[in-house]
Structure 1
Amino acid sequence: MTVRLPGKQTYRSGYLMLWQKVPMSCRQMLLLETLGVKMGFLESIPSHLQLPVAVTCYWICCSEPKVKLHQLKALLLMIVSGELHRITNDPDPTVVRAEDDSIAYNEFLKWKEKKLQNKDFDLDAAHSFCQWQCCLQMGLYLNQLLCTPLSEPDLTRLYSGTLVHRLYQELKSTSSVENLFSSSPKMTQLYQILLNTVESTLPPDFFQKMTKTKSESCKKKKASNKKKKAIRCAIPETQHLCNVNRFASLGVDD
């Protein structure tokens, strides 16, 4: 008699059936507690963006090196651009498109066509955005394992590496990029809601404290370098020669 072991699909179906018996509220609570977010913080967020926002909160709290404010803003602006693209390119003929959304989208496309002034590649930013993608991937897996207590986002419009890096580079030089979608009150409001929601889960001085700590670290490093330089200058030249020439002590008078 041949005994067949259950395949991966059978195990997966078993897990799904097990979790489906658990109330939706419990599955949702488990997901959000893992990400360190309460559902109350996400109520003002569109349902299909709640998971990415929850993941973003987790990313900021756990990432190393620490996330910078410009990185967060670049990420949220990128998400808003995806929403604007979805609205203005919806194939459904019954969907009414607001004129200001179309204007904002055309202005966004013109901005993308402009050449970037600063083309320097920021390795720390790249590392940080890669961490966000990994957090999102694990968040999606957990959400699927729990039978999707939160709606899944459209990944094709959610992330663009080229776009988020460009937004980050320009935010470092000018804050006017935050007004990229100012022609659309709806998109402007969405950006503010996303930003306020994420910041509401953080300590009030989270980004200021991080900047201060980094500044103090740089000052300490500079002070340490000056001290070392002063010590080197204070050492007599003959002592330097002694360190180089191991026979120098033979020429020293008693």
Structure 2
Amino acid sequence: MDLNGKVALVTGGASGIGLAVSRELLNNGSNVVVCDVNVDLARYLMEELLATFGKDRVLFIRTDVTKESDFEEAIQTTKNYFKRLDIVVNSAGIFDDIDWEPALEVNLKGVIRGTLLALKYMGKDNGGEGGIIINIASLASIDFYPTSPIYCATKHAVLALSKCFGMPFHYTRTGVRVVTLCPGVTSTPFLASFHTRLMSPSWMEPNRKLVNDLKESTPDVVARSIVRVICEAESGSVWVSEGGETYSVELPDRKSLKVLS
């Protein structure tokens, strides 16, 4: 995919990986809709982006991904403003294994909503022109971390959702590639509070040891990985961005799944 002139919608776009992705897409010629629930944070961000890229290329829409109406209105506004939608990056996410139900709403249900709505508005079977959905999972979607079972469960589910919708069974009908990007440890505000939201204080030290053994990246590095994936990844593929490296991973498929390929 040539990114120049394309229109991308990025959830969680006002901070962390989402912000870095928004900037990277703009730097590569795309028009970007930044969706985030944090209006105060977005206000300062938009001042910067508008000054750098101009009002014709970037738009902010307050979006709560836990609300279907918010999400659909954001997509409709995007299509009305830019007259198209080519890329949806479901990046919004939180970590809270203590008060875990909001994490489930954002990390899993938010991605499900974003995926279904993107397919509805971009799918060729619905009159759209196709496109790509990037669902941000985590290394926790292809591994198992005993100190963060709820977070791990949501990310495994995101991977399963993306793999299913990315298969030829759906892609041949919709023309929408669905791809999973699994960042490793990334230096965001999310990471700074990670240890405090574990189910038990006694898990903090084992969790630190686990995280310290992983390669750390910056949001900008992950954003460059996402842009690469948007440009070249096959539908249904799973990619890792870890310690400055970007690579695809093969997951075993049961023979029964290949029947619908």
Higher RCO (C-alpha 8 Å, min separation 6): 1
Both proteins in one fold, TM over 0.5: no
Measured against the shorter chain, the TM-score band is under 0.3
Taking structure 1 as the reference length, the TM-score comes to: 0.24
The structure where strand makes up a greater share of residues is: 2
Taking structure 2 as the reference length, the TM-score comes to: 0.23
Rg larger for: 1
